[in-house]
Amino acid sequence: MLLRPVVGFDLDLTLVDPRPGVAASYRELSRLTGVPIDADEVAARVGPKLELEIARWFPAASVAAVADTYREIFAMHGVPGTSALPGADAALAEVRRQGGRSLVVTAKSEPLARATLDRLSLAPDELFAWRWEEGKTHALAEAGADLYVGDHVADMRSAVAAGVYAVGVTSGADDASSLRDAGADVVLDSIAEFPRWLSAYLLPARLAALDESLRALGSVVVAFSGGADSAFLLAAAVRALGPANVVAATAVSPSLASRELDAAAEFAAGLGVRHEKPHTDEMSRDGYRANDGNRCYFCKAELIDVLRPLADATGIANVATGTNADDAVAGFRPGIRAAAERGALTPLRDAGFTKDQVRAASREWGLPTWDKPALACLSSRVAYGVTITPQRLARVEQAEVSLRAALHAAGVDVRDLRVRDLGGRARVEVDPTLVDWLSGRPDLLGCIDGFDHVEVDPRGFRSGSMNEALGARGPTS
């Protein structure tokens, strides 16, 4: 079951465009040897092994020596003339995001390949150089690759011979038809399309893995905040176990916006699942009220400490949260640690679900939460170091409700909106496209009460923006 893929990438014309550098290098080679070479013609067919190209212009006996000379020239002229193709870095990043491992498998020499990657800040997990056709096949097999992405028909043949999924990109000389004829399982217009394609390609396997893991639990209490992640987990649990073996539990406290409780109840009722609304008392925890960097630890600890007895009382052995794979790598997340210490399960994370995949699967299932904006608890709006109180949370909630209503009355739809409590002043974050407009509307900002000053963040909405301050002073323990 493909959950954490090992993905190989060709280098030239798959991740990088070396053609200007190749042309410059062949012109210099022609100048040094006195042999006429059509550098532009050579650059137009980048892809084959270097020695094959050299043999077009030089006698067989001198090919090896000329190839060595060319490599020396390319280090000086070719590497600086090579650029990353749009989306190359995002493709490598997506493999990491999906919990996988990236390889570059190329016919280029190792020194030149490394110099190219380093100069362009492209960082695969592993490099296999000096590989062509059979050599690429052996490298893919050796690395346990699941997919290989390339622009040349030879790349497709190597992937087929290695028994891996062949992904063609038409950024080289070979067109889609040629790549398919050579064995490509799918053809993309460019590497820029790869991240979205990979996410969709992995989704069926992750759905199957999630279903299997939930079935193995037998029964589960889902910590159900009403957001996209926990809603999807709840729906998946009902599909796997039936509503009689699933309990949705939405914690009620001053940190939960009241409108979210109503929406959560409606969603649970639509699934026919039992919906519990236990009260949590995170305010009784000194660490939560102090609101230092570890506030989320105390909040999540309170939640799981309340849900565990609830599960026991209902005869259910497991408690699960909607933590996804993106959450696990999103930097400082003390709440995840608190839940793990108390034995809470993370089925979405374990199956490798990213936020995009949660939304894609939710949409496929017809869940109304598939495009629901991220909506963290009200405490996340309060600057670290500013004491959390019920009154402060209520002030933030009312400010957001009032501003959203004022924007709606003005005929403006806003997707993401936060009012950040910085103590005596409020900082408003909205969709980036609305920042300048809202900054010029003090009449609308005037609906926010209880603060000495209200300002609009020029950077717009950013999930977890309060954590930016932690980078300077570091979290406390």
DSSP state of 218: S
Mean of pLDDT values over 331-357: 90
- Cβ neighbours around 364 below 10 Å, total: 11
Q: What is the mean pLDDT of residues 336-348?
A: 93
Tens digits of residue pLDDT in 213-257? 999 999 999 999 999 999 999 999 999 999 999 999 999 988 887
The CATH homologous superfamily of the domain defined by 6-15+83-199: HAD superfamily/HAD-like (3.40.50.1000)
Q: What is the pLDDT of residues 64-78, one digit of tens each?
A: 999 999 999 999 999
Contact criterion met (CB below 8 Å) for 475 and 332: yes
Residues 350, 369: Cα–Cα separation, whole Å: 21
Cα separation, 303 vs 383, in Å, equals: 22
**CA dihedral of residues 433, 436, 437, 443 (deg, nearest 10):** 140
The whole-number pLDDT of residue 386 equals 92
Where exactly are the structural domains of the chain?
Answer: 6-15+83-199, 19-78, 218-365, 378-473
3-state secondary structure of 149: strand
Domains 6-15+83-199 and 378-473 in one fold: no
CATH for 19-78, options being 1.10.1740, 3.10.620, 1.10.150, 1.25.10? 1.10.150
Query: Residue 477: pLDDT band by 50, 70, 90 thresholds?
Result: very low
Closest by CA to 191, choosing from 209, 210, 170, is: 170
Helical spans, DSSP H, in 189-323: 194-217, 228-241, 258-271, 286-290, 295-313
Closest to 344 measured CA to CA, from 233, 208, 186, 226:
233
CA–CA gap between residue 418 and residue 400 (Å, rounded): 7
pLDDT for the residue 476: 34
pLDDT, residue 467, reads 66
State the number of CA atoms in the 13 A half-sphere of 427 facing the CB.
16
**Which has the minimum average pLDDT: 136-140, 382-386, 462-466?**
462-466
Domain covering 218-365, topology: Rossmann fold (3.40.50)
Burial class (CB in 10 A: 0-12, 13-18, 19+), 304: buried
Q: What is the pLDDT of residue 330?
A: 58
More confident position, 331 or 473: 331
CATH code, residues 378-473 = 3.30.300.10
**Confidence band of 19 (pLDDT split at 50, 70, 90):** very high
CB 103 within 8 A of CB 155: no
Over range 188-216, report the average pLDDT: 97
